[in-house]
Structure 1
Amino acid sequence: MRKPVKTLDGHKDTINSIVVSSDGKLLVSAGHDGIINLWDLTEFSLLDTINISGLIYEVVLTPDNRFLASAGSNNKINLWKFPQLEHMGEFIGHTDAPVCLEVVEDGKILISGGLDNSVRYWSIPDGRLIQTISEHEGSVDCLALQDKEYLITAYDEDIKLWPYGIHPDRDNYEFIFYDMPWEGVTTLKGHDSLVYSLRITPDGWNLVSGGADNTVIVWDLEKRKLLKTLEGHGGWVYDLAFISDGKTLITAAGDGYIIYWSLPGGKPIKSFKAHDRSVKTILITHDGENLVSAGEDRLIKIWELDS
């Protein structure tokens, strides 16, 4: 049986999200227990803990590592000074829980998707709501960004590609949005159930999605078509990651397994049982040496990354 390099134990319930600082020294984890933990990855020690009322679905860092944002079941997004974890304010506007986050424009804009069927754009750090997309027919469960051309969202089994809709007004240091409704929205159909994860390949040409139908789909973004359906998991596919060259995809699922796939062919390379229960989130450290996984068993595991 494969063994992790290290196992971190500091949560009381399912871990939904992990994020690592750009220098690779700090890891943030958050989950169902309403806890945000800050870990030292050099010493594998717990540095700080924050308790928030309700579930936390996702945490993200701005590229400069100045701010951490968390989204949870209290319908709010919290902004924290990083790494001090000093509370900077709340982003208020969602009428149901925000569950997914993306940071854009060099950390100046935060995009959130929620169970209220909306996508919202916010100004960082003041939390000003500057744009809302309300055209979704179901909850927005995940987001991705293709450069500055398309915002990609998933609700139910559908994936939508929206024009990015934002460009900087450099004279006034503001951001200008196109008037709604935006034109040119494309819908991708291929999954038979909820889509839980979206990732763009490092070269920007393909989108990969994972869903509650236990499959992973590779899409051609230019032609807007399904290229390949990858089958191998025995549970919902919760997260995806790429090795830096983009030729290897790593997937994590509700069966507790992590699978390596070759791209573009989509053949499984190897798999291993990573957790006793669902693997909810994975990431590759910036130095490319380790894979980090976490999930329903409340544990964070650090693995040597196979090339």
Structure 2
Amino acid sequence: MSVILATAGLDDKIRFWEAPSGICSRLLRYADSQVNCLEITTDKQYLAAGGNPHIRLFEINNSSNQNPILSLEGHSGNVTSLGFQRNGRYLYSGSEDGTVKIWDLRSPTYSRSFDAKGGVNSVALHPNQAEIISGDQNGSVKIFDLGSSKCISDVVPHSRSPSTSSNGRVAIQSVDISDDARILVAANNHAEVFAWVPSAGVSTSTATGEAGGGLPEVYFRAHPPGAYLLRARISPDCRTLATTGSDGTARTFDTATWRQTRALERHGGWVRDAAFSADSSYLVTAGGDRSALLWNLRTGAPVRRYADHDYAVTCVALNDSST
């Protein structure tokens, strides 16, 4: 299959779509809980889905098997974020139980666990495949070194929102790092975005500052005051940041100027997740209006709506890479 597009949500179902037609081509049932996050392996063979508190791995190209081929047990709370290492052999995850875990997919149990000291809302893997970045409910951005199994950086971006408590801490809702490792973004649930832009040769931990130090090079509010931010994603070409919010919009920003380029406004509820196409020209968004939308980012127009879910769509995964 050249394009793999999957959505999931509060109806405990995962749907695969024919992207051009908008037809649901396959339905999987995710027993026991809602689905919080989805990720597709680079080779398009497997889909990982995170729920409460388990992670399940499904075959993509075997439509006769509706059951997971692997269930990963070890988290004790909602799995909020996950992803694969480049070769697809390892999976990483973050959970509201306050841990970041690494899983060898040849085993149903985790191989390593890091204590984030607060519920984890988002995790991202550094392109060097050697560092995991997390954003947590205590307002911290942490970087864990996979070689030493240590936290090598712990930064609290201080909120400038007038409704913030005196310590400036607001839950970090989403973290991401660009494929060229030159931009690290953390966004809190007040829709404030903090970005570090390391110079060439500077490690991620040095750029953010060691153990609570360091200030972001860029700060802006992505959505209007009072709106919550749900997700922040950097495009594969590293030129665009997309954010999603409770104001019913997804917004895009130029990472060279950090100015808003698009406001995508066709969802009828919270926009909870987003995924870029491989060429960065399209964006798929997941909405509380029980649908996902495919957007042409050159025009800002919706191209297709995927609308068979019974309840809110919480997450989306897209792999249309030709490699």
Superposition TM-score, scaled by structure 1 size: 0.83
Cα deviation, 1:130-180, whole Å, max 9, x if unaligned, reads 1111234311111122332221111121111123489578xxxxx862545
Cα gap change, 1:264/1:274 in structure 2, threshold over 3 Å: closer, same or farther?
same
CA contact (8 A) 1:23 1:286 kept: no
**Residue 268 of structure 1 aligns with which residue?**
302
Of the structure 1 ranges 188-197 and 110-119, higher mean CA displacement relative to structure 2 is found in 188-197
CA contact (8 A) 1:207 1:218 kept: yes
**Residue 133 of structure 2 aligns with which residue?**
111
Of the structure 1 ranges 106-115 and 132-141, higher mean CA displacement relative to structure 2 is found in 132-141
CA contact (8 A) 1:159 1:188 kept: yes
**Residue 33 of structure 2 aligns with which residue?**
13
Pairwise CA distance, 1:82? 2.1
Give the Cα–Cα distance (whole angstroms) in 2 for the partners of residues 191 and 125 of structure 1.
37
**Residue 175 of structure 2 aligns with which residue?**
143
Given the alignment, which residue of 43, 51, 54 partners 1:23?
43
Cα gap change, 1:125/1:39 in structure 2, threshold over 3 Å: closer, same or farther?
farther
Give the Cα–Cα distance (whole angstroms) in 2 for the partners of residues 197 and 149 of structure 1.
19
Given the alignment, which residue of 225, 236, 257 partners 2:259?
225
Given the alignment, which residue of 154, 158, 164 partners 2:187?
154
Letter of the 1:210 counterpart: T
Does residue 99 of structure 1 match 2:121?
yes
Cα deviation, 1:207-260, whole Å, max 9, x if unaligned, reads 111111111111122122122212110111111122223222211111111112
- Paired residue secondary structure (1:85): coil
Give the Cα–Cα distance (whole angstroms) in 2 for the partners of residues 10 and 205 of structure 1.
35
Q: Which has the higher strand share?
A: 1
Give the Cα–Cα distance (whole angstroms) in 2 for the partners of residues 101 and 286 of structure 1.
22
CA contact (8 A) 2:277 2:319 kept: no
**Residue 281 of structure 2 aligns with which residue?**
247
Matched length: 282
Pairwise CA distance, 1:38? 1.4
- What pairs up with 1:1-307 in 2 under 5 angstroms? 3-31=23-51, 33-44=52-63, 45=65, 46-51=68-73, 52-92=75-115, 94-124=116-146, 126-136=148-158, 137-146=169-178, 147-155=180-188, 156-164=190-198, 167=201, 177-178=206-207, 179=209, 181-183=213-215, 185-192=217-224, 193-287=227-321
Cα gap change, 1:100/1:188 in structure 2, threshold over 3 Å: closer, same or farther?
same
Identity, % of aligned positions: 21
Give the Cα–Cα distance (whole angstroms) in 1 for the partners of residues 31 and 59 of structure 2.
15
Letter of the 2:206 counterpart: F
- Gaps in structure 2 of 5+ consecutive residues: 1-20, 159-168
Give the Cα–Cα distance (whole angstroms) in 1 for the partners of residues 184 and 45 of structure 2.
30
Letter of the 1:140 counterpart: I
Superposition TM-score, scaled by structure 2 size: 0.80
Give the Cα–Cα distance (whole angstroms) in 2 for the partners of residues 252 and 125 of structure 1.
35
Letter of the 2:177 counterpart: L
Give the Cα–Cα distance (whole angstroms) in 2 for the partners of residues 259 and 54 of structure 1.
29
Pairwise CA distance, 1:16? 0.6
Give the Cα–Cα distance (whole angstroms) in 1 for the partners of residues 109 and 216 of structure 2.
41
Letter of the 2:284 counterpart: I
- Gaps in structure 1 of 5+ consecutive residues: 170-174, 289-307
CA contact (8 A) 2:23 2:306 kept: no
Letter of the 2:183 counterpart: Y
Pairwise CA distance, 1:3? 4.1
Cα deviation, 1:184-212, whole Å, max 9, x if unaligned, reads 52112240211111222333222111111
Pairwise CA distance, 1:103? 0.4
Letter of the 1:216 counterpart: A
Cα gap change, 1:59/1:190 in structure 2, threshold over 3 Å: closer, same or farther?
closer
Pairwise CA distance, 1:63? 1.2
